[in-house]
Structure 1
Amino acid sequence: MNAREKKSPGDRRGGIIATATEMFVKNGYAGTSMAQLAKACGIQKASFYHHFASKDDLFIACVTEGYADAVNVLIELRADASLSDPEKIERAIRSLYETIVVSPTGRLSPLVAEVSRTMPSVAKGFHRDYIAHQRSALADLVRDGVESGSFKAQDFDIFHHLVFGPIVTLSLSREMFADFDDLDDHFPVQKLCEGHLASIMDLLAP
């Protein structure tokens, strides 16, 4: 991109969300001001409000839009005829660990819990735009496997709890103790993912 080219509004919005997500993770919601965000994004504070009406609106966008790619991964897995049903579930679980535990967007989970009481729109938007779609996409993968005979039928309320509970707990734990020098010794993501995945596959096995 040369000096005369300008970023499209979509590019600018995406860049702001990415930068803001990193800052919210680092400084917390209360510790991140609009002035700091504008400076980090390289725009004037007044111009910032052309993109987002408030810090609340920006935070909601970070939480909801940041997960869009994660939902698309699950949807695309279902359509991939080259993969078996167990392979789709395996990739789905690994994707959830990457999104919820490792990615900057996933690391916003503690802040969602922190601000949802005073900003109910955050919790509602998070559930509407991510959790509901995520649960639906995962359920579709399992239903396909049940229909093909690869999996046994599941109570999806229990199944979703068994899938997401350990992942969210790990994400919150790693953020709670993020300053530990031996964080990976206490909460080894890869090892826990492998053990969790094995348990899920045992649960699904016909």
Structure 2
Amino acid sequence: MDTVEKNQSGDRQAEIIRISTDLFLKNGFSGTSMSKIANACDITKASLYHHFSGKEDLFIACVTDGYKEALVALEEILADTSQSPETQLRLALDTLYSTIVGSPVGQMSPLIAEVSRAFPSVARSFHSDYIEPQEALMWQLIDRGIDQGAFKDVDKKVLSHLIFGPIVTLSMSREMFASFEDLDDHFPISHLQNGHAKIILGLLEAD
């Protein structure tokens, strides 16, 4: 396969993933068949299976592909050593909130939890392809702050839950109560994010 064909194939897969993500969000996992996806993508079912071996494989692609930009953004924040550790941590939290709470793939949080119970490979892929590298990048950032004396050393496992837990909970809560007219009064993203950042930085602040 030459470069042009590879690019075309990659573009086609990206389009399938985008359309499939919309369908999964609208209809759920069980309500989204490969036939419906093929029709929405204006391709044959055989062509769809050429790109993805099945619905489970396609769902995993939707989840892991959708979070790749967040990982790239975290890598760029980590690479910018001109910023203080505190500023880098705030920027990293901005990225996590934007991805997990504010993006289409982030809106799939409840669906990911549901599908993972029936298909353990979804949970395993999501953890290995997104959660683990994301945690690793966050800890590189925090370890740098510790080395520079800006942060104190803390229990990594506990802090990881304190960083990611509230963001995932907010994402799932906003999806659960999405029909509320006063959704932003109950779950104000900016207010909760700012408070979350202050708590994390307070826990890390060197004595």
Same fold (TM over 0.5): yes
Match of 1:53 in 2: 53
Equivalence for 1:90: 90
Distance in 1, Cα, partners of 2:7 & 2:158: 45
- Aligned partners of 2:70, 2:7: CA distance in 1, in Å? 24
Shift of 1:182: 1.7
What is the match of residue 181 of structure 1? Answer: 181
Q: Give the superposition deviation at 1:81.
A: 2.2
Which secondary structure state, in structure 2, belongs to the residue aligned with residue 116 of structure 1? helix
> What letter corresponds to residue 45 of structure 2 in structure 1?
K
Deviation at 1:187, TM superposition (A): 0.8
C-alpha distance in structure 1 between counterparts of 2:142 and 2:7, whole Å: 41
Q: How does 1:56-205 map to 2 (within 5 A)?
A: 56-205=56-205
Unaligned runs of 5+ in 1: none
**Alignment-mate amino acid for residue 64 of structure 2:** T
Name structure 2 gaps, 5 residues minimum: none
The 5-angstrom pairing of residues 17-32 of structure 1 reads 17-32=17-32
Tell me how far apart the structure 2 counterparts of residues 72 and 134 of structure 1 sit (CA, whole Å). Answer: 10
Q: Secondary structure at the match of 1:81?
A: coil
| CA deviation map 1:162-196 (0-9, x unaligned) | 11111011011111111222211111111111111
Q: What CA RMSD, in Å, does the superposition of the two structures yield over aligned residues?
A: 1.5
TM-score of the two chains, using structure 2 as the length reference: 0.93
Further displaced range: 93-102 or 34-43: 34-43
State the aligned residue count.
202
Cα offsets for 1:62-85 (capped at 9, x unmatched): 111221111121122111122111
Compute the displacement of 1:6 (Å).
11
How far does the alpha carbon of each residue in 1:36-86 deviate from its partner, in whole angstroms, 9 at most, with x for none?
A: 211222222221111111111100111112211111211221111221111
Separation in 1, partners of 2:34, 2:180:
29
TM-score normalized with structure 1 length:
0.93
